[in-house]
Every structure is written in C-alpha cells, then in structure tokens.
Amino acid sequence: MGKAEKLFDRWSENLPKEARIQEVKTLLNTYFEGQWDHDCTSHIVVRCEKLKALPDYQPFGEISVPVKGGQKVKGYYIRSLIKAIKDLQESEEI
C-alpha cells in the first residue's frame, strides 16, 4: 500500500481540519494523475472525464480546491476529493 492509499484510508476514516498541500498533491498524483492543475494560483483544479458522467460533477467533471495561504487545504475540500475518489471507484465497479 502506497503513501496515497494510506492518506486516502486515513482521511476517509478521520478527516483532518487541514492538510499540507504536498499531501494533497500526493493523493492527486495517484488518483487523478495528469488531470489536475496548480499553476501559480490559489486553487487546485481537477478536471476528470470520468467525473462528467456522475451527476454531482456535471457538466464539466471539475473540482476546485482552494489552497489556504499557499500551503494548506481545509478539511471540507479534502472531503470533496475523497468523495470524488469513492464515487469513481463505485462507478468503475458497476
């Protein structure tokens, strides 16, 4: 089990108040590799074609995650990433 999978499991069970941006990027690199962007902005934007098919992410299949002070991501936004990953996993099982 890799670092991203451990973060996913830990955050699924016990959501942190905040997480370091590097941890969030580790999670994104595993579950949304090549589908996210954070170029000198205050937001990480995830654009995933598979999310377009799910009702919570229509019409663009996009998740926007604000970065607090350029270093931290609040737990609320981590929850939305965890939910998106779980939704994708469930849709692939069907």
> Per the structure, how many domains does the chain have?
1
What range does the domain containing 11 cover? Answer: 3-93
What are the start-end ranges of the H helices in 1-94? 3-13, 21-31, 75-93
pTM: 0.88
Q: 15-66: per-residue pLDDT in tens?
A: 999 999 999 999 999 999 999 998 878 999 999 999 998 888 888 999 999 9
- For residue 31, how many other CB atoms are within 10 A of its CB? 20
Please state, in angstroms and rounded to a whole number, the distance separating the CA atoms of residues 75 and 81: 10
> Left if phi > 0, otherwise alpha if psi is -120 to 50, otherwise beta: which for 34?
left
